[in-house]
Amino acid sequence: MKLRRGMKLRIMMGRRMLTSLLSLMLRIIVSMERLKTRMRKKMMKFVLMITKGHMVVKEKDHLQTKSM
């Protein structure tokens, strides 16, 4: 009986460890995904800013060449 109880306890502990590990992994994955989406949004804003800046620069270049 004592051995069986010990084994049961060990199995329970193992399961608990597994579930906690899995939940931790899930949490990490979720946080990573959130970070990715946040970064993507920032990147999109950054890219838009860059493209807008390039367009402005191009327009300025055109204006300069026309004035010359």
Averaged pLDDT of the chain: 81
**Is the Cα dihedral 22, 28, 34, 37 positive or negative?**
negative
pTM: 0.46
The Cα–Cα gap between 26 and 68 comes to: 62
pLDDT digits (tens, 9 = 90+) for 21-49: 899 999 999 999 999 999 988 888 888 88
